[in-house]
Structure 1
Amino acid sequence: MTVAGSTRYPSFIDDLARSESGRLLRAELGRRWPETPDRLDAIVRYALLPAGKMLRPMMTLHAAEAVGGSPRDVLAAALGTEYLHVATLVHDDIIDADTLRRGRPAVPVAYGIPGAIVAGDHLIFHAFQAIVEGGRAVPPASVVAAVTALAEAGQDLCRGQAMEERLVGDLDAGARWYPEMIRLKTGSLFRAVCHIGALLGGAEPRVSAALARYGEHVGTAFQIRDDLLSYLSTPEQTGKPATSDLNNGRPTLPLLLAYDAISDAARVELLAVLHRRGAGPGDVEWVTALLRDAGAVDGARRRMVEHAERARAELAVLTPSASADVLTGIAAWMTSEMA
């Protein structure tokens, strides 16, 4: 499955979403989750559709194809990775009390917190069922390994979320634990989606392990990019409030780098913004200017580039192909210019 056009940035991801694999995923997602009077399924459908960029399931399909497998054979499993991802978004919106997701009311706002909790749980169980369904064309041992990869990613996600909560408002501890926190919280699922695709595509252990490492580095770069977007893009572009990270006191990389570089007086003011857990008038603008002046934006970009380059290096195990090019393009897209 090839992607229309070249790997231009940032339009590459939009091209990928419109590619044959993107259309296949969206069609199958709509088929599996039709409009229904059933309340639980309706909540899940609202959470899943209209779909986002579907980056994670796209990576599962292309990882499978890059090692010689058939994307259609792993289609269900690819959707399973999206189920787990969306479940985490639903639960995150409850934890963070965010009201906006993908440019519309978040699931807890649209359906209430109890409905959102149950829908997120429902999606998690569907994710495991989908992995098993997607493994019908491969040996049982590969299916077991794929299910294990998803379970381990889910456990790491929970550990990363708990670690982030413990670091809220604590920029001193955040500087120490941030790399591990984002590896667990974000890198783990990217690791799993590529590992699952490689396993179900029939890759030998050396290759599937390399693709797992590729995914973890891509996920780490993706989280740093997301940290930056909070200060470089509008809510319309990100699909969430610009004040979300400040309201929740999150120790994002730009904040950590700025905290390390600024004066003691500026540190006191920055901590005050984080500790009051509610961005007041002018806070976002002040913090954004602080990050730029402290060189934190450029510093975070450099970290992002390092992980993207390490991800691309892991792809050396692959035979050249259109899907290998897509995986390379995804890593390169992480370093593309942002608004």
Structure 2
Amino acid sequence: MTVSDSPKYRTLLNELVRGELGRLVREELLRRWPETAEELSASSRYALVPAGKMLRPLMALQAAQAVGGNPSEIVAAVLGLEYLHAATLVHDDIIDGDLTRRGRPSVPAAYGIPNAIVTGDNLIFSAFESIVDEPWVASPARVIAAVGELAETGRDLCRGQVLESQLVADLDAGAEWYAEMIRLKTGALFRAACYIGAILGGAGAAAGAGLAAYGENVGIAFQIRDDLLAYVATPEQTGKPGTSDLRNGRPTLPLIVAYQRAEDADRDELRAVLARRAARENDVDWVHGLVLSCDAVAGAHDVMAAHVERAIGELAVLTPSPSVAVLTDIARWTTSEPR
């Protein structure tokens, strides 16, 4: 049985969310964001609740536990990672014009674009507040390091978004810069999750660096998985439109692989489809056919699997433990089939 068809990995995140650490995160999230009539708090809560996979705070808690820390002491702090993630989703939906998120109206659709912009901003500031909120469970130096990592991550996210915008409808530039773009836009926040969890959990330099590198590689694999969902999953499974990337002229990895493998005539047509944002009636079906005929899904999957193996290799710096095993399983989950 391969990783991709193993039921163990397909159900992993649901089990983590239902587990003890998942319960702690959910309870703290609801405690900090109660129902309210105040619009900014209500729109921020809407972006956060019901929670998604909460993968980043859960990875942070596992990282803390892997280096000998007590994860229950840093739940409030690592929730800041979920706030920053939610903020990026709100702003992404504004940029992309997406009307649905997690199977319901996106924040811009529900509250309007002006309020959605402010909602994302509010969540970013809340992320920093969560890390410095007293009582501190780590030394001031470690808290400062966590804040610095969150700030650097925020800048990386912005750099990644700008780079992604520069690659629109440009498959040649996409082929050159895609890896750096997803490292910044997605890998950075996973890196931060694991590093912040480790540093607040008491990690030494080697363990902190190893967990940061692990997180970055998992994040890169996660983004490639997300790129692939448009070709292997339904909108009902993902909770968002499967055509968003095409409609926004975005050169995702399956498209880049197909472009590199296609005949010249198909390469020209793919460039034209992206330039017109898949506006013609049969454009989406044509692209899907090209991706399948070029075996681009498998090609992108191979790149994703390579990052998973790099991530797992970075965990060698840690003493084997149940938390290290969970982190290994999370990395392997990225290659599982969507459910």
Q: In which range does the TM-score fall when normalised by the shorter chain?
A: over 0.9
Gaps of 5+ in 1: 1-5
Counterpart in the other structure of 2:250: 250
39-48 or 133-142: bigger deviation: 133-142
2:181 is aligned with 1:161: no
Alpha-carbon displacement from aligned partner over 1:220-262 (angstroms, at most 9, x marks no partner)? 0000000001111111111111110000011100100110111
Counterpart in the other structure of 1:3: none
Measure, in 1, the Cα distance between the counterparts of 2:212 and 2:40: 33
Q: How many residues align?
A: 334
8-17 or 163-172: bigger deviation: 8-17
Alpha-carbon deviation of 1:99?
A: 0.6
Change (3 A) 1:329 1:209: same
Counterpart in the other structure of 1:14: 14
Alpha-carbon deviation of 1:79?
A: 0.5
Counterpart in the other structure of 2:227: 227
Counterpart in the other structure of 2:3: none
Check conservation: 2:248, 2:277, Cα contact below 8 A. yes
Alpha-carbon deviation of 1:338?
A: 4.2
TM-score (norm 1): 0.96
Alpha-carbon deviation of 1:135?
A: 7.5
Counterpart in the other structure of 1:315: 315
2:47 is aligned with 1:47: yes
Check conservation: 1:187, 1:216, Cα contact below 8 A. yes
Measure, in 2, the Cα distance between the counterparts of 1:246 and 1:229: 13
Alpha-carbon deviation of 1:7?
A: 7.8
Measure, in 2, the Cα distance between the counterparts of 1:262 and 1:134: 57
Aligned AA for 1:303? V
Aligned AA for 2:81? T
Measure, in 2, the Cα distance between the counterparts of 1:206 and 1:264: 48
Change (3 A) 1:135 1:267: farther
Question: Secondary structure of 1:251's match?
Answer: coil
Check conservation: 1:47, 1:90, Cα contact below 8 A. yes
Question: Secondary structure of 1:8's match?
Answer: helix
4+ residue segments displaced more than 6 Å = none
Alpha-carbon displacement from aligned partner over 1:161-206 (angstroms, at most 9, x marks no partner)? 0000000000011100011000000000000000000000000011
Check conservation: 2:278, 2:284, Cα contact below 8 A. no
129-138 or 97-106: bigger deviation: 129-138
Measure, in 2, the Cα distance between the counterparts of 1:98 and 1:210: 36
Alpha-carbon displacement from aligned partner over 1:249-292 (angstroms, at most 9, x marks no partner)? 11100100110111111112212221112444332222122111
TM-score (norm 2): 0.96
Alpha-carbon displacement from aligned partner over 1:16-57 (angstroms, at most 9, x marks no partner)? 111111111111111110110101000001000000010001
Counterpart in the other structure of 2:177: 177
2:161 is aligned with 1:142: no
Taking only the aligned residue pairs, the percentage that are identical comes to 64
Alpha-carbon deviation of 1:9?
A: 2.1
Aligned AA for 2:21? S
Alpha-carbon deviation of 1:134?
A: 7.2
Change (3 A) 1:308 1:134: farther
Check conservation: 2:231, 2:297, Cα contact below 8 A. no
> Cα RMSD over matched residues?
1.4
Change (3 A) 1:294 1:134: farther
